[in-house]
Copies of this chain bind each other. A is one copy, B any other.
Amino acid sequence: MAEPEQIRGASVTSRALSVLGAFEGSSGSLTVARIAARAQLPLSTTYRMVHELEEWGGLRKGSDGKYQVGFRIWELGQLAGRRLRDRAHPFLQDLFDLTHENVHLAIREGTQSLYVDKIYSSRKMPQVSRIGGRLPLHATAVGRVLLADQPDWFVDAYLQRELEAPTPKTVTDPRILTQLIGDVRRDGYSVTIEQMRMNALSVARPVVFNGQTVAALGLVFEAHRYREVQRFMPQLRGTVERIEFAMAGRPLTMGE
């Protein structure tokens, strides 16, 4: 008879996960009350779960009384996609040594690119991407490379949606983008200029393993240095090859 607000049929597990989910896209520290609001759960339920998560190490109570995601989650997360990250990382570092430009490694998660690794120093700070961050597929070079690997029906469906335009120069016209994706498929690389941020240019190539694109490797630098793309292409290509070779290597067992 009362309002049917409560998300009925929610399992205990899903509630606990909602509590964790409340931290996604948050500032990092949340009070129990705020967690409850974000997770759409009653206060007492939230309270109980927060404490169980805290005891396990999934959440951590800061000195200000607010909760943060705990290191146990961080440690667990290190297990996700470890093969790719571990194998690729040393070569990203090599590429950075060579170029001293921002180096990215991203995978596709749904309709976004997820940045799984990134090399940068204190010299190059203003960045849009961050490790663990997501960006749309059509506005970065890595994103387009990842999109280009998808079947036509996926690409078409993606382009049919309302596309974000982070800069005035961002291409959002489905017809032009279809064309551009075709170019990426033909050339095996993507170059985007000022699509995600003004004065930024990015180049990317796919990392192929077992016949499918598992990630995209990219370089980002200032747009006015567009002539240097030529110089970086062979280095980017070489790095991708080394990563692909390393991916194929022996399984490198450990524990259990």
B131 touches A78 (CB 8 A): yes
Bound-state Cα–Cα, A89 to B125, Å: 11
Residues in chain B near residue A86, CB distance under 8 A: 130
Chain B residue nearest in CB terms to A82 = B28
Chain B residue nearest to A58 (CB atoms) is: B17
B256 and A25 contacting across the interface, CB-CB below 8 Å? yes
Stretch from A7-15, A136-144, A155-163, A169-177 at the B interface: A7-15
Q: Tell whether, in the assembled complex, residue B17 and residue A132 are in contact, meaning their CB atoms are under 8 Å apart.
A: no
Query: Does the CB pair A109–B77 fall under 8 Å?
Result: no
Chain B's closest residue to A86 (CB) is: B130
Q: Quick check: which of A113-121, A185-193, A218-226, A227-235 contacts chain B, the rest being far away?
A: A113-121
| Chain B nearest Cβ from A72, distance in angstroms | 8
Given contacts A49-B13, A53-B13, A94-B121, contact A71 B78 (CB under 8 A): no
State the copy count for this chain: 2
- Shortest A78–chain B CB gap in Å is 3
Residues of A within 8 Å of B, CB-based: how many?
Answer: 61
Is B80 a contact partner of A132 (Cβ separation < 8 A)? Answer: no
Using Cβ atoms and an 8 Å threshold, which residues of chain B touch A20? Answer: 76
Are B77 and A78 closer than 8 Å at their CB atoms?
yes
Q: Which of B58, B75, B121 contacts A93 (CB 8 A)?
A: B121
Count chain B CB atoms within 10 A of each CB in A86, A93, A109, A253 and give the residue with the most. A93
Q: Identify which of residues 1-54 in chain A touch chain B, using a CB-to-CB cut-off of 8 Å.
A: 11-14, 16-17, 20-21, 23-28, 49, 52-53
A198 interfacial by beta-carbon distance below 8 Å = no
The chain A residues found within 8 Å of chain B, CB to CB, are 11-14, 16-17, 20-21, 23-28, 49, 52-53, 56, 58, 60, 68-71, 73-83, 86, 89-91, 93-94, 96-97, 100, 107, 109, 114, 116, 119-122, 125, 130-132, 242, 253-256
17 contacts between A and B (CB under 8 A): A11-B52, A13-B49, A16-B17, A20-B76, A25-B255, A27-B253, A60-B80, A68-B80, A71-B107, A71-B116, A77-B77, A78-B132, A79-B132, A90-B120, A90-B121, A91-B122, A93-B120
